[in-house]
Chain A
Amino acid sequence: MVEYAVLDAGMGGLVIILGGVAAVVFVVMAVIILRFSIRAIKSELKKEAEAEQLDAQQAKEEDIKAEQKDEEV
């Protein structure tokens, strides 16, 4: 009986330890994946903001050119 109880406790302990290790591994992997994803989103948003700025600048320059042409006329 005592041997079985010790075996049970040992197996239970092993399951808890392995389960704990697996949980830690999954949490670490999840954090790494999410951090990479957030970084990718940040760079994507930055790229889009820059593209929008460039568009706005080009539109401004075209407006100025058009105004200058009007003045020359």
Chain B
Amino acid sequence: MLSRPKKRILRQNRRMKKFKDNITGIEYFIVHACVETICFYLLRLHYPLLLAGTIAFVYDFFAFLPQGIIGKFIESHKKLPYETIGNLLMLGAIFLVASPVHALHISGYVVLGIGNAIMHECGAIATVTESRGKIFQSALFVSGGGVGIVIGQTMGINQVPWQWLIIPAVLSEACALAARKSVRKGTYPTFNVVEKKFSPWTILLVAFLVTAVRSYLGYAIPISWNKELWQTILLFGIMGLGKALGGYFVDRIGAWKTAVFSTLAAIPFLIFGDKIMVVSVIGVFFFSMTMSITFAMCLSILKSSPGLAFGVTTAALFIGLVPAFFVRFGLLTNAILIVILSIACCVLLSKTLKK
């Protein structure tokens, strides 16, 4: 029998080991939060209404669509300091967007999008490299975005001086440099969450479709209860928690169970949560859990290119966003869409994921 102090030491050692095992995920959680803080501050700084849609579209285009190519480039040219390039681009974007010359603003958003894409790809590659075949670290990295979105939006709407953005930029650079070796290792653990009977293109197509649908539904979810700042913070916090725990459950109980349970469980909460915050938040939590599953599906196919695998999911995120820029449906149509598309995603995932 171990004495109490020894047990405590053992427990502390175990916690320390867990922390060290997930250190890259934690570092890139902070990087992601800093990056999104800068991006969403700048997206909210000018043009709160008039050009918001155009700016968001331009930014999303450059931030989401080219990530696959950027990831592939990073994997095959390891000597360049991508983290610093990404952060410098973001720093440059701060000056461009905050400048009094209006003509420079839109180019600032283009630079911002490209910087954001580079940082995301570094995060994806680093967390997969250190993952030991588990998806949790990547999920942790992705969940950091929600924190940054809330901080950035709040700062931007309240017109906090742009000079404050130097802090997240420096913090992002420090954390990214701490994990720089992970981006350049070049050997990646194997993921195997998909059924082998399907062709690689089928699996990639399913992952793409499910991600695109999730991206679109993100805009279709009725949340008329969200009026106060603390409610927005809660919403994005829960979203981040759902993404991180989705990865945790994929590692614990498997991708199939997590996918089927979370997509089906989310439906009633999302539909009936329009005016009731607690119900809606539970739905958003389940809804966010599938994020890491589609990434793991792409990783199972593109085994030696996590950057490209992440790029497939981000391209799908952009394609899913596009309709939201042009079409808006009513409450009932959105509810019907949520039910039909969620069930379709559940069927597709249950067929292609390994039980």
With a CB–CB cut-off of 8 A, which chain A residues contact B308? Answer: 37, 40-41, 44
What is the minimal beta-carbon distance from B83 to any residue of chain A, in angstroms? 22
B303 and A40 contact, CB distance less than 8 A: no
Interface residues on A, range: 10 to 19
Q: Are B304 and A48 in contact (CB under 8 A)?
A: yes
| Interface size classification for chain B | 10 to 19
Look across to chain A and name the residue whose beta carbon is closest to the beta carbon of B318: A30
Cβ-defined contact, A30 with B304, below 8 A: no
Secondary structure type dominating chain B contacts:
helix
Please indicate the chain A residues that have their CB under 8 angstroms from the CB of B69 in the complex.
33, 36-37, 40
Given A33-B69, A37-B68, A41-B312, the answer on whether A47 and B304 have CB atoms closer than 8 Å is: yes
Q: Does A9 contact B (CB under 8 A)?
A: no
Q: Enumerate chain A residues within 8 angstroms of B304, measured Cβ to Cβ.
A: 44, 47-48
Judging by beta carbons under 8 Å apart, are B303 and A48 in contact? yes
A17 close to B (CB within 8 Å)? no
Which are the 5 A-B pairs with shortest beta-carbon distances? A37-B68, A40-B72, A44-B305, A36-B69, A33-B65
- Chain A contact residues, CB within 8 Å of chain B: 26, 29-30, 33-34, 36-37, 40-41, 44-45, 47-48
What are 14 A-B contacts with C-beta separation under 8 Å?
Answer: A26-B61, A33-B65, A37-B68, A37-B308, A37-B315, A40-B68, A40-B72, A40-B305, A41-B308, A44-B305, A45-B200, A45-B301, A48-B200, A48-B304
